[in-house]
Structure 1
Amino acid sequence: MATRAPDRPAAAPPGRPVRAGHGPRRALYRQWVHRLDTKGSPYAYVTPFFLLFSAFGLFPLAYTAWVSLHEWTLLEDEHEFVGLDNFSTLLADDYFWNATFNTLSIGVLSTVPQLVLAIWLAHLLNRPLRAQTLFRVTLLLPNVTSVVAVVVIFSQLFGRDFGLINWVLSLAGVDPIAWNEGTASSHAAISVMIMWRWTGYNALIFLAAMQAVPRELYEAATIDGAGELTQLRRITIPMIKPTIVFVVITSTIGAMQILAEPLLFGTYSVSGGPDRQYQTLALFIYENFTKLNFGYASAISWMMFLFIVLAAGVNYLLTRRTKGGLT
């Protein structure tokens, strides 16, 4: 009976000699590349953002702080270092506190109703409806419309003698209102413009969060006899709480930087009306820049930055403390 010869190792291809340790070195190299890719890729992905932020965000922020410590104008070659004099002058400036009050007033009047209405619209669109895509696009249209066109149209709507708003109010016996002359009336008119532009945008953000809520929760609540308002309060709002915190903070930041609406409303001036009744902090900064007083304007910018950080922090703490949502 013939026996089978033992298998021999395959001969190396001609021109490619087998080297001792070649396989282990290649395995170590692959492990090193894999480890580098796993740990280094996240940093490589975020590096472009930090480079752009350093060039267009961090450097201007630091340079503005340096300018705020000087008496800085374009009419002089040398800029005198004055320390914190610009800030001390600012704290005693009635125009600054007037602009701060106007900013907070318009911000509250535009942000609070806007967020409530956005949540309600998102709740309505979260149900099975026909032409859902059409409704969603319609909500986004005000946000993509030019802010100049929005303000010009609303300025006509809020006109004293021939405005549509006053005509509707006259049907109820209300006398014509000079919307751009009074403090309360101008704040209400500007707030309506801001609400019209941003309510739909925030509603789409809330809608995206609502669609991630499990449908089983609503089905169980319906079986238990809970109505739509109860489901909104007890299920939807607690489940989308992180999104609410995000929208509240971004809306607060946006409200503190209002510029185009008060600039283009009524008189088209940087003073915000004849009595500065709707001049915001951003508009006050712009006014000082037009006067070439860059040091003082930079000090105002830094004060507004501190106000934004403070307001965002307060809103974050308040929204985080409401753990149960609206109960």
Structure 2
Amino acid sequence: MGLKRSRKYRSEETKDKISAYLYISPFFIIFAIIGLYPAIFSIFLAFQKWNGLGEMEFVGLQNFSVVLQDPTFWKSLYNTIIMGILGTAPQIIVGIILAFILNQAFLKFRNTFRAMIFLPYITSMVAVALVFGVFFSSNETALANYTLQLFGIDPVNWKTSEWGAKIAISIMVFWRWIGYNTIIYLAGLQSIPKDLYEAARIDGANVFQQLRYITIPLLKPFIILTVFFSTVGALQLFTEPTVFLGSSAFSRTEAMTVVMYLYRDAFSLQSFGTGSATAVILLAIIVIASAVNTYLSSGIRKRKKGMRT
């Protein structure tokens, strides 16, 4: 009887496991079809010469050599890094300040302000492109150029100027993602005990000192998280410059990013081999950036533990 009960228990346990795997299997099936297979196929194409229709020809590392010797690729990498820094670095400082303000108890209509700050993140990119296209128009009467003229600066052709295009796109990236980072910082602020701020106020600490000695140190894990996401997102920058520059996005190099370079090779020049090689190189860059980010964050945690001990 004991053996039969043991077998019955094992069979029921096996059925439960199978049932659980069947419930979660749709996710893994869809991920394998939409995510995993294209990634593996892209790595395979990186070693092939293929125009998308004819037969593939194995060329080894030739595609990588072509990409790495192309000045346009290095220009696109330079643009990606510059716009990434200009568009994401200010988000950390401004996001912390906005989150600190939104977390104050005396602030009225806090929920309204929080929704307004997060609104750009969920706004359609078509609407964003129209708004920023008008704001950064080449006309002298456009809002950006009109503001510059108030300070005695000549109007800028934002879509063709070397730094004008970078600055305009960086502002678009900042405007779109500042709310996302602010909400993360706000969640971090709400996890900080209010007793610390009350004790600081009793000791005579002003708002700036509270922000410097309480808020920022305790927000380090959240700052590290947003820096990681911002770094990966900046290296994959594509939508903002594409919708801002429009039809000239892939024919000019002032604001071409690595992903735009990849897209141009694959879908405009029908060179899927070099496009896939660029994707593999970009993957390696993202892995290196992520490893550096992890190393720095682990170093911060170790120094923090050492200070406590």
Give the TM-score of the pair, scaled to structure 2: 0.87
Alignment CA distance shift 1:118-1:89 (3 Å)? same
**By percentage of residues, which structure has more helix?**
2
Secondary structure in structure 2 of the residue aligned to 1:292: coil
Matches within 5 A, 1:306-317: 306-317=284-295
Unaligned regions of 5+ residues in structure 1, if any? 1-20
Alignment CA distance shift 1:43-1:111 (3 Å)? farther
Q: Is the 8 A contact 1:158 1:189 kept in 2?
A: yes
Aligned residue for 2:146? 167
Q: Select the residue among 227, 232, 236 that pairs with 2:215.
A: 236
Take 2:117 and 2:257, find their aligned partners in 1: how far apart are those partners?
A: 27
- Whose RCO is larger (CA < 8 A, sep 6+)? 2
Q: Select the residue among 215, 233, 250 that pairs with 2:229.
A: 250
Take 1:317 and 1:225, find their aligned partners in 2: how far apart are those partners?
A: 37
Take 2:135 and 2:286, find their aligned partners in 1: how far apart are those partners?
A: 31
Aligned residue for 2:79? 102
Take 1:79 and 1:25, find their aligned partners in 2: how far apart are those partners?
A: 59
Instruction: Give RMSD over aligned pairs.
Output: 2.8
Alignment CA distance shift 1:32-1:213 (3 Å)? farther
Aligned-pair identity (%) = 39
Secondary structure in structure 2 of the residue aligned to 1:268: helix
Take 2:30 and 2:240, find their aligned partners in 1: how far apart are those partners?
A: 29
Aligned residues, how many? 300
Matches within 5 A, 1:185-196: 185-196=164-175
Take 2:143 and 2:269, find their aligned partners in 1: how far apart are those partners?
A: 37
The letter of the residue matching 1:143 is: Y
Alpha-carbon shift at residue 238 of structure 1 (Å): 2.2
Alignment CA distance shift 1:262-1:42 (3 Å)? same
Take 1:51 and 1:118, find their aligned partners in 2: how far apart are those partners?
A: 38
Alpha-carbon shift at residue 152 of structure 1 (Å): 2.4
Alpha-carbon shift at residue 313 of structure 1 (Å): 2.1
Take 2:114 and 2:74, find their aligned partners in 1: how far apart are those partners?
A: 40
Matches within 5 A, 1:93-172: 93-128=70-105, 129-161=107-139, 162-172=141-151
Alpha-carbon shift at residue 272 of structure 1 (Å): 5.4
Take 2:241 and 2:53, find their aligned partners in 1: how far apart are those partners?
A: 29
Aligned residue for 1:262? 241
Q: Is the 8 A contact 1:160 1:177 kept in 2?
A: yes
Q: Deviations over 1:16-52 (max 9, x none)?
A: xxxxx69x98799779978997x99997886654444
Secondary structure in structure 2 of the residue aligned to 1:322: helix
Q: Deviations over 1:57-106 (max 9, x none)?
A: 22211110001110011342x11111111001111111111110000110
Alpha-carbon shift at residue 285 of structure 1 (Å): 1.1
Aligned residue for 1:7? none
Aligned residue for 2:259? 282
Matched, 1:62 2:40: yes
Larger radius of gyration: 1
